[in-house]
Amino acid sequence: MKKALSLLAAVLFAAALAASGQAPAKKLKVFISVDMEGVAGLVHWDETSEGGADYPLFRRLMTEEANAAVAGALEAGATEIVVRDAHDSARNILPDLLRPEARLIREWNGPLSMMEGIDKTFDAVVFIGYHARAGTPDAVLKHTMSLTLYDVVLNGVRMPEGAWNAAIAGHFGVPVVFLSGDSAICGQIREIVGPIETAAVKEGMGPAASMVHPVKAREMIQKGVAAALRNLKAYKPYRPAAPYKLEIVFTDENLARRAAMVPGIERTGERSVAYASSDFMDIVLHFSLARR
């Protein structure tokens, strides 16, 4: 009897909404992965880690750029927001300053790394504070995952972190719709993943950079995230085709030697190894093992 009454109540509620011209609110779940090197104003390694004199300042600016992304998501109607602290220690974002509408994931916990927490229930992914891959000309603090890796190549494509993380999102059927960082990564991500909304908050000039004011950067991020999420149908998940071949080039030959000790990983050169699989998550797991 109670079940029948609940069903009747649901039907009556839907009918009332239809009569009023209002549709039931659509859920919009957004995953925001936040790195630090691409934050506006930041230009030196000392500013990115504990012990650097200006690290507290850039922790705050990183948090505020995350907040700008959250604000843009809320403006577009987001009903659930998860923020992943995805830089260095994964303990950079200041929890008390993060907007309370978002849940925060801190510390590392498994092979998904910068995408830990993503799953198929999300509707969109946003990248904040991202940077270009190692070796990119005129890119601010360019590197690939860590300073021990020179190249990560998936199916012949040299991957910046943003593309690798987009492939993880794509595995779960979730599109990346927005990225902020320097102009170099904005170009790289569009070239690999396809058209997405970007905000270039600085431009590399060798080891220096020309950049917008942090307040302006936050305005760009909020506006861009809101616009992207209002136009979700324009974006598709990034899904490299199986079978997958992963090639890793280290900066030190001893790291390649150690990685080749992982079962299935093959030494292919002085500083390089490779692994192949038809299972993308198997590729992700072996990449994690090879980096240890």
Q: Which residues are catalytic?
A: 143
Map residue 96 onto helix, strand or coil. coil
Candidates 187, 169, 198, 204; CA nearest to 284 is 169
CA distance linking residue 40 with residue 61, whole number of Å: 8
Q: What does the block give as tokens for 137?
A: 């000309």
Expressed in angstroms, the distance from the first to the final Cα of the chain is 59
Task: List all residues 6 or more positions away from 154 whose beta carbon is below 8 Å from its beta carbon.
Answer: 163, 164, 167, 240, 244, 245, 246, 247, 283
HSE-CB at 18 with a 13 A cutoff on CA atoms is 6
Extract the tokens encoding 57.
Answer: 């300042």
State how far the Cα of 26 lies from the Cα of 235, in Å rounded to an integer. 18
Q: Taking the alpha carbons of 260, 280, 187, 203 in that order, is the dihedral positive or negative?
A: negative
Which DSSP symbol is given to 175? -
On whether the CB atoms of residues 66 and 93 are closer than 8 A, the answer is yes
What is the CA 209 to chain-centroid distance, rounded? 22
Q: Which of 237, 200, 203 is nearest to 221 (CA)?
A: 200
